[in-house]
Amino acid sequence: MKSGGLKVAFFGSPEFAVAILGAVLAHFEVVLVVTQPDKPVGRGLKLTPPPLAAHAVRLGLSLAQPTRLKNNEAFARHLQESGADVAVTCAYGKILPASLLRVPGYGFLNTHTSLLPQLRGAAPIQWALIRGLSVTGTTIMQTDPGMDTGPILLQEELPIDPDWTAPELAAALQAQAARLIVAALGGLDTLHPQPQDDAAATHAPLLGKADGEVRWHESARAVYDRYRGVYAWPQSSASFGGKRLKLNTLRLAPEGVSGHPGEVLAVSASGVTVACNQGAVELLSVQPESKKPMPAPDWWRGTGARTGARFDLTETAPSPD
């Protein structure tokens, strides 16, 4: 048995959770790993396990992949029989019923990548960037039946580099979360849960494809921040002449550059400068529909358009609170 004699059940699914599991394994005994079921992936719809499930199998850990948790007495019994003293969740992706939360003696601890009550929900890393936050962090909370509403056990800030994309911020938060969950598990008998201020809560729901659409009527900084947040998925996209265009790489243009929102101001050897409501961004690499990625100036020459032409302006839904 590992140090402290604590037995842990670990709930998670994506690649982000793999390093967190590794940190827990280095200090405690993991008696059960729980992930979401295998899902069809790719054009061939091949049934594929979540990254954490595949990792658990490689390590020879006991694995469960229940299709549902509510009213699942067989799984609740499985968790109880595992002997887990406490359960840890990390991007598991399902709401836990109250009956299950009571099974381990110490309940469930959740690693959440924001400074709760800020950014409750499934995509706190992405929304921290979209909203242009300069600081985020990790919260270890005692899970309750709500959506990230449980009392806080540990919390630590993390400054955000102004040019980080979502994968880069995720990597920094992953290292922080791994360290904090080990500290929380080691201090279960000494930590003092602090209730969250529900009135200060903000939300970070799952991203949809529409969240990647560029809002040219916003400031250049807001356009750039959205690009950073949706970098992995769904990626920034815009419409020019009625045709969709992925914006694979962009950067802020020098200060003082301005024009009408969506207006192409200049084309250089390196990029295409497009005006926002305040300031401008420079498109470096793009991908037209049904084509491979290409340098933005090459795409621009192919359009036959001249500077002064504008990207299409589309109606977009407001961001969540």
Asked if pLDDT for residue 279 goes beyond 90, the answer is yes
Domains of the chain and CATH, by start: 3-200 (3.40.50.170), 210-303 (3.10.25.10)
Asked if pLDDT for residue 304 goes beyond 50, the answer is yes
Q: What is the pLDDT of residue 215?
A: 97
Q: What is the pLDDT of residue 31?
A: 98
pLDDT bin (cut points 50, 70, 90) of residue 3 is very low
Tens-place pLDDT, residues 142-176: 999 889 999 999 999 999 999 999 999 999 999 99
| Cis peptide bond prior to 124, omega within 30° of 0 | no
Q: What is the pLDDT of residue 315?
A: 66
User: What SS3 string covers 239-279?
Assistant: EECCEEEEEEEEEECCCCCCCCCCEEEEECCCCEEEECCEC
pLDDT bin (cut points 50, 70, 90) of residue 2 is very low
Asked if pLDDT for residue 317 goes beyond 90, the answer is no
Q: What is the pLDDT of residue 87?
A: 98
Q: Which of 36, 143, 29, 37 is nearest to 82 (CA)?
A: 29
How many secondary structure helices (H) and strands (E) does the chain include? 8, 15
Tens-place pLDDT, residues 186-232: 999 999 999 999 999 999 999 999 999 999 999 999 999 999 999 99
Q: What is the mean pLDDT of residues 261-272?
A: 97
Compute the Cα dihedral for 256, 262, 267, 268 and give only its sign: positive
Q: What is the pLDDT of residue 216?
A: 97
pLDDT bin (cut points 50, 70, 90) of residue 4 is low
The helix (run of H) or strand (run of E) holding residue 122 is: none
pLDDT bin (cut points 50, 70, 90) of residue 250 is very high
Asked if pLDDT for residue 321 goes beyond 90, the answer is no
Tens-place pLDDT, residues 82-114: 999 999 999 998 889 999 999 999 999 999 999
Residue 189: which residues within 8 A CB-CB, separation 6 or more?
Answer: none
Enumerate the H helices of the chain as residue ranges: 16-25, 51-59, 73-81, 98-101, 124-130, 166-186, 220-229, 296-303
SS3 153: strand
Q: What is the pLDDT of residue 319?
A: 73
SS3 181: helix
